[in-house]
Amino acid sequence: MATHLLSVLLTLAGLTGIHSITTVRKVSVKAGGSISIPCLYDARYINHVKCLCHGDYWNSCSYVVKTNQPSLSGKFSISDDTNQRIFIVTINDLVVRDTSYYWCAVEIDGGADVREYFHLSVSRGMSGLNVVQQQISGFNRGHITIRCHHSITGQIKWCRLDGSCVEKQSGSIDGTPVTIKRSAPNIFTVTMSELKIDSSGWYWCAKGDLQMPVRVTVRERPSTTSTISLTATTMNPIKENRVPGTADRQWSKSIYLKTLIIPLSLLIFIVMVTLFIWWMLRRRKQAKAESSALTKDEQEITYSDVWHVNRTSGQRSHAESDVDVTYSTVAPKQHRTVQRQNQVSDDDVTYSTVSIKPEAQPKVEPNVQSVIYTTVSQHQN
């Protein structure tokens, strides 16, 4: 009897959706933005069709998107993560008239669908509770910080979709330390430190009766990368509630730019050093050539030879005693302009001159040893 009663209760729980689907209860979004809602389901529904139904009442709501029937308009989308047992519904380009009740549902063949509702409020001004990004990434053993903006009063919480909550300034969720601080009048920050791979999952921050879901992804740290903390900030509330995947794309783009800039900078440096060395060598070679040309142009060569003819006293005659002879050979400077070969001008020849003092006595034939030969040579330019 007890077994039969338990079976009935479980059946009723499945029909009414109790503990079969878990999601947030109430969210607020600014018009023009988008929102992603996680819907956690029981393991027995892994192979079932998941869907989103729009309407204030279950009996009168209409399906707007299913996992086996994607939306053609692009306003609604749905994805199913069977490993985490969570399907995610996303509503884009929100307008005020989208304010309504929505239902996360699982189709049950031959029975009533399992469902759970949430209320979506779309406002023209700043929403009651929002974050800049609904997805944030961190590294194993690192930390992340989420900024939650609010314009309402009420209790502050940080909860895991399928777990416990932290309502005080500090606590932990599944062994991960959590710290909550009020950083500004309308902002509170949530810091998760000592992250683990198991810390990945969907969380939500709460202020009063509003919740805002946030997906946390923890990766292994690259071996060549220093500690990095990815922080979700709220410097521009207009860009709140971005479509999932934005944080991942920005992180990948940042890593790609770094890997491109470093080798490019190194290449530019090597090219600059090479050009500088080439310029120095060329300058030195040019200076050496100019110095050599200047030395050659200004080179002067002068030859001067003087011979003194010795005579023995016995061989000298009386007539030669008073004769003084001087020999001189002079070579001109080299011309800077090259004259044609074998062309000789009078300016290129220098003749020696022999002067003999007048003799008072009659001229006497000199001795053979007293003869002096003068040679005139032509200097080639």
| Residue 201: alpha-carbon gap to chain centroid | 30
What is the distance between the alpha carbons of residues 330 and 351, in angstroms, rounded to a whole number?
A: 8
Amino acid making up residue 330: V
pLDDT tens string 194-238: 999 999 999 999 999 999 999 999 999 887 654 454 444 444 443
Start-to-end Cα distance in the chain: 136
Domain assignment present for 1: no
Global pTM?
0.55
Q: Give the model's confidence band at 185: pLDDT under 50 very low, under 70 low, under 90 confident, else very high.
A: confident
- Range ranked top by mean pLDDT from 161-175, 244-258, 315-329: 161-175
Cα dihedral 160→161→163→164 (10° resolution): 50
Domain assignment present for 2: no
Contact of 129 with 205, CB cutoff 8 Å: yes
pLDDT at 378 over 70: no
Amino acid making up residue 351: Y
Same domain, residue pair 328 and 260: no
pLDDT at 349 over 70: no
Place of tokens 């969380």: 203
User: What is the domain count for the chain?
Assistant: 4
pLDDT at 374: 52
Domain assignment present for 204: yes
pLDDT at 314: 45
pLDDT tens string 59-109: 999 999 999 988 878 899 999 999 999 999 999 999 999 999 999 999 998
Same domain, residue pair 199 and 140: yes
More confident of the two residues 347 and 273: 273
Place of tokens 């974050």: 131
Same domain, residue pair 132 and 222: yes
What is the distance between the alpha carbons of residues 275 and 218, in angstroms, rounded to a whole number?
A: 47
pLDDT at 170 over 70: yes
pLDDT at 324 over 80: no
Task: Please tell me the total number of residues recorded for the chain in this structure.
Answer: 381
Contact of 68 with 31, CB cutoff 8 Å: no
Same domain, residue pair 227 and 193: yes
Same domain, residue pair 261 and 155: no
pLDDT at 250: 57
Same domain, residue pair 32 and 83: yes
Same domain, residue pair 25 and 94: yes
Amino acid making up residue 77: S
Same domain, residue pair 181 and 225: yes
pLDDT at 358 over 60: no
pLDDT at 300: 52
Same domain, residue pair 118 and 132: no
Domain assignment present for 364: no
DSSP 8-state secondary structure symbol assigned to residue 318: G
Q: Give the model's confidence band at 29: pLDDT under 50 very low, under 70 low, under 90 confident, else very high.
A: very high
Domain assignment present for 367: no
Over residues 18-32, the mean pLDDT reads: 88
Domain assignment present for 6: no
Number of C-beta neighbours around residue 339 at 10 A? 12
Lowest mean pLDDT segment, chosen from 8-17, 195-204, 296-305? 8-17
Same domain, residue pair 165 and 116: no
Same domain, residue pair 239 and 278: no
Domain assignment present for 185: yes
Domain assignment present for 180: yes
pLDDT at 304 over 60: no
Residue 208 structure tokens? 């009063």
Q: Give the model's confidence band at 176: pLDDT under 50 very low, under 70 low, under 90 confident, else very high.
A: very high
* Beta pairing partners, 330: none
Same domain, residue pair 55 and 19: yes
pLDDT at 35 over 90: yes
pLDDT at 254: 63
pLDDT at 22: 95
Q: What is the mean pLDDT of the chain?
A: 76
What is the distance between the alpha carbons of residues 137 and 135, in angstroms, rounded to a whole number?
A: 7
Q: Give the model's confidence band at 18: pLDDT under 50 very low, under 70 low, under 90 confident, else very high.
A: very low
What is the distance between the alpha carbons of residues 137 and 140, in angstroms, rounded to a whole number?
A: 10
We report the CATH number of the domain holding residue 118 as: 2.60.40.10
More confident of the two residues 208 and 371: 208
pLDDT at 253: 61
Q: Which residue range forms the structural domain that includes residue 49?
A: 15-125
Q: Give the model's confidence band at 166: pLDDT under 50 very low, under 70 low, under 90 confident, else very high.
A: very high
- Domain end call among 103, 125, 147: 125
DSSP 8-state secondary structure symbol assigned to residue 124: S
| 146 phi, psi to nearest 5 deg | -115, 130
More confident of the two residues 125 and 351: 125
Q: Give the model's confidence band at 286: pLDDT under 50 very low, under 70 low, under 90 confident, else very high.
A: confident
